Structure formats: C-alpha cells, structure tokens
Structure 1
Amino acid sequence: MTKRLILAAAVLGLGLSTALGQADVVRERAMLMYEQGEAFYATLNSMARGRMAYDQAKVDAAMKVLLESAEKLQTLYPPNARGQSPEADYFANAKAFENKADFDARLAKMKAEIVANAPKAKSLDGLKEAVGAIGQTCSGCHELYRAKKG
C-alpha cells in the first residue's frame, strides 16, 4: 500500500511539475512577444512613421530586443505547451502546433529578417526599410497563428 501511495504521489508530482512548466513556457513566450511588440511598434515603427524622433541608441536597443527575443522564441513552442497566459491579450492558436514545421520556419524567417535588416537601420530611411521587411514577416505569421483572447 505504501509503495502505491509513493508511486501515486510521484506521478502526481511529475504531472504537476509538467503543468507548471508548461505554464511557465506559455508565460515566458507571452512576455517575449510583448517585449517584441514594444520594441517594434512603440519604438521602431513610431520612429519610422514620424511619431517619435529618430534616436540611433533607441533603434539599436530595440533591434537588440528583437534579436534576443527571436532567438529565445524558437525554443518556447514545444508541443505540450499550448494555452494562453492570463496577462496576454494574444496567444498562439492551435494551428501553430498543428502546422509546427511551417510555424517554426516562420519563426526562423523572422529571426533572419531581423538579422538582415538591423544593420540597415542606421538612418531614418534605413529604419523605414527595416521596419517594412520585419513587419511584413511578423504580420504574415500573426495572420495565421495568433488569436485574440476573449
């Protein structure tokens, strides 16, 4: 009897830690996507559209955030980590996990676009070009694989 209780407790503990791990992954990717949105829309896109003064230091910092988060995001969509973070307005829909190869390819393309376009953002005109290319890649993935909470 005691061995069964120990085994049951171990299985329950493993299941609980797996569930908590999944929640951590979902929360981490939601936070990274939020950081990307802030860097891209609030900083880079605002500058490119003239809503904010061009500031090379802010451009460089925002590009760094985009690159670092793109590298991490590729590891945060394991098959067992579906769901949404309570803090986030958007989340990865079921198609992101059902079409995992395409989804992963789009994440890799996003990273490649950031790497290719960050060096162009050394002037306002270069920033506009970079924002256009990176934004197009992000939008293409969002149209297919992002859902709004609620």
Structure 2
Amino acid sequence: MRRIALVVGTMLLGIGAVMAQQEVAVQQQNLMKAQGKDMYGVFGKILKGEIAYDQAAVDAALADLEVQVTKIATTFTPNPKQNVKDASFGASQKIWQNKSDFESKIPPVSKAIAEQKGKIKDSASLKTAYDAIQDKCTGCHDDYRVKLK
C-alpha cells in the first residue's frame, strides 16, 4: 500500500513539475506575442496598407512595446526546459547557456524604442522607426529563437 502511495505521489509531483514548466513557457510566449502584436499587428499592418495610419494606435503600440521589452529579462529567468505545445517558435536553450549575452541584447531594443518616441508622425517615419526597432529585435531572435514548425 505504501508503495502505491509513493508511486502515485511521485507521479503527481512529476505532473505538477511539467505543468509548472509549461506555464513558464506560456508566459514567455505570451510576452513575445504581445510585442509581436505591437510590431506586426499595428506597425506592420499600417506599413502594408492593411489599416489606415492612426497616430493614437501607433503611440499606444510604441508605449506598450516599451513596457513589454522591460519584462524580457525577468520573464526569461526561469528555464522551462520545454516549449509551448503546438507553438511555431520557441526559446532556444542557448538563452540559459549564455544568459549574459541574451540579456545584453535587451538594452539596445529599449534604446531603439526610446529613440523613436515623438519622431513617428506618418507612415514614412513609422517605416524608419519600425526598421530601427526590428533590427535590434532580430539580433536576439537570430540567436535565441528556434523555429518549431
């Protein structure tokens, strides 16, 4: 009887650990998706002509992006050792193997965003801002994001 209780208890602990790791991976993915919503759902759609230029939407997306980027280091502190089920992209284990390099890529993104505040007035200046920010984002994505599908 004790053996059965021990096996069941061990299984429950294992299931709990897997669920906790999945929750961390989901939090990390949600942070990246929030940034993608600003970059691609607002800036990208305006630049493609899918939606009209809207200064209030641009300003809100830039402000949100600025806040979201500050959360990267803490959100990626725990290593979930797994990716979100059915996700297209995931976090490379290289993040936790070279955490200082990963974290060194965050300030340039924040700086690029801060440098664009107050400069975006139309689609042309939005394109310049988008390229400047995207250039800094890509530096991290190239090294620390993996394509899953």
TM-score in same-fold range (> 0.5): yes
Equivalent residues of 1:26, 1:76 under 8 A apart: no
Task: Structure 1: give runs of 5+ residues left out of the alignment.
Answer: 1-9
Once structures 1 and 2 are overlaid, which stretch shifts more, 55-64 or 45-54? 45-54
Task: Structure 2: give runs of 5+ residues left out of the alignment.
Answer: 1-8
Q: How big is the shift at 1:59?
A: 0.6
User: Runs of at least 4 residues of structure 1 off by over 6 A?
Assistant: 10-16
Does residue 1:98 correspond to 2:97, yes or no? Answer: yes
Name the residue aligned to 2:6: none
Q: Deviations over 1:85-137 (max 9, x none)?
A: 12531111122221211111112222222222233223323211110100111
Does residue 1:133 correspond to 2:132, yes or no? Answer: yes
Equivalent residues of 1:110, 1:138 under 8 A apart: yes
Cα distance change of structure 1 residues 46 and 139 upon mapping to structure 2, 3 Å threshold: same
Partners of 1:13 and 1:23 in 2: CA distance = 15
Name the residue aligned to 2:115: 116
Alignment of 1:54-93 (within 5 A): 54-86=53-85, 88-93=87-92
Q: Deviations over 1:9-65 (max 9, x none)?
A: x99988766654433221111011112112101210222343431101111121122
Q: Aligned residues: percent identity?
A: 33
Alignment of 1:35-46 (within 5 A): 35-46=34-45
Superposition RMSD in Å = 2.8
Letter in 1 for 2:38: A
Equivalent residues of 2:79, 2:96 under 8 A apart: no
Instruction: Give the secondary-structure state (helix, strand or coil) at the position aligned to 2:105.
Output: helix
Partners of 2:140 and 2:23 in 1: CA distance = 23
Name the residue aligned to 1:5: none
Once structures 1 and 2 are overlaid, which stretch shifts more, 81-90 or 92-101? 81-90
- How many residues were matched structurally? 149
Partners of 2:16 and 2:79 in 1: CA distance = 13
